Amino acid sequence: MELSSDPAAADMSRVPSKDDDDGDGDYESLPPHVSVATHMTAGAVAGILEHTVMYPVDSVKTRMQCLQPDPNAQYRSVYQALKRIIQTEGVFRPLRGLNITMMGAGPAHALYFACYERVKRSLSDVIQSGGNSHLANVVKQRMQMYNSPYRGLWDCLQTITRTEGLGAFYRSYSTQLTMNIPFQAVHFITYELMQEQLNPQRLYHPGSHILSGAAAGAISAAITTPLDVCKTLLNTQENVALSSMNISGHLSGMANTFRTVYRLGGPAAFFKGAQARIIYQMPSTAIAWSVYEFFKYFLTKQQFEQEAGSRAM
C-alpha cells in the first residue's frame, strides 16, 4: 500500500519528469538541503539493522563454510545448526562477534549512503563492504568459529596482531573487493528490475521495497558464494584444512585460495554454506532497502510540506 493518504503526500510521491524544474515531488532523490550527517545517520541505522537482525544465521554460515569442520560442528541445516549451537555452547554463542560487526557496519554504511545519492551505483558499491569494515569482518569470523580460542573482541585483535601481524586483517581484501563487484552489480540490477515490475510508478511502497530487496539479496548472495567461501578461508585460516594440505604458515592470495578450496572439496566446496548465506542475505538486504527508502520518503515528504506551508503563508 502506498503511503499517500493525503494530497500533499500523494503529489510528493510522484516521480517527476526531467522537465520539472521545481523538484517538489522528486522522491527518487533526497532533498538538496539535507546534510551529509543526515545521509550518514540514515546509512548507519540501515547498516546496523541489516547486519544485526540476522547475525546468528551469519554465524552459522561461517561454520558451514569450514572445509574440514570438527565432527561436533557439522550441520545439516541452518535450523539444526542454531539449535545445536544454543544447546551445546549457550544461547549467546551465535551472537559472538556482534559488537565488532556493529562497530564496522555503522561507519561502512554511513559512508556508503553518504556517497550513494551523489555517485549512485558506481564507486560507492566497492566502498560499501570493502576496506572500511574489513578488519571487523576478520575478527567477526574468527570469533564465530567452533572452539574459537579468543576470549573477546580485544583479545582477538591483540592476538592476531601479535602472532600474525597487521597484514592478517587484509589477506582477503582483494577477494572481498572482487566479490563486491558482481555482488553489487547483480544486487542493483535485480532491485531495479523488481521495482519496474512491482512499483513502476516509483511511489513509496514498503512491500515492493522489501520483496525487491530480498530477491536482490538472495540472487547476489547465491552467485557470489564461491568468492565468499574463499574469503572465509582467508579470514579464518582454518588450521585443520590447511594442515591437511601441508600448508605451512598462512594462506594468502585469491588464486592460491581457489586452488586450495578445489583440492579440499572439489567444485561442491565452493558452495558450502550457500543456504545459510542466502537465508541471511534475504532479510538483511530487505531491511537495508526498506530503511533507506523510508528515509528518502520521510525526508522528501518533510521538505515538501515545509515548502507548501511557506507558499501558503
The set of cell numbers assigned to 218 is 538472495
pLDDT of residue 31: 53
CB 109 within 8 A of CB 48: yes
Q: What is the pLDDT of residue 310?
A: 75
Q: What is the pLDDT of residue 215?
A: 96
The answer to whether residues 212 and 287 touch, using CB atoms and an 8 Å cutoff, is: no
Which residue segments constitute the domains of the chain, with CATH numbers given? 33-306 (1.50.40.10)
Q: Say what the pLDDT of residue 313 is.
A: 67
d(CA 41, CA 38): 5
Cell 572452539 belongs to 147
Output the pLDDT for position 245. 81
Written in H, E and C, the secondary structure of the chain is CCCCCCHHHHHHCCCCCCCCCCCCCCCCCCCCCCCHHHHHHHHHHHHHHHHHHCHHHHHHHHHHCCCCCCHHHCCCCHHHHHHHHHHHHCCCHHHCCHHHHHHHHHHHHHHHHHHHHHHCCCCHHHHHCCHHHHHHHHHHHHHHCCCCCCCCHHHHHHHHHHHHCHHHHHCCHHHHHHHHHHHHHHHHHHHHHHHHHHCCCCCCCHHHHHHHHHHHHHHHHHHCHHHHHHHHHHHHCCHHHHHHCCCCCCCCCHHHHHHHHHHHHCHHHHHCCHHHHHHHHHHHHHHHHHHHHHHHHHHHHHHHHHHHHHHHC
Is residue 144 within 8 Å of 62, Cβ to Cβ?
yes
Spans of the chain, pLDDT less than 50: 1-27, 29, 121-132
Spatial separation of the C-alpha atoms in residues 247 and 240, rounded to whole Å? 10
Residue 118: predicted pLDDT: 60
Give the pLDDT score at 133: 64
Are 254 and 178 in contact by the 8 Å Cβ rule? The answer is yes
Contact 259, 242 (CB under 8 A): no
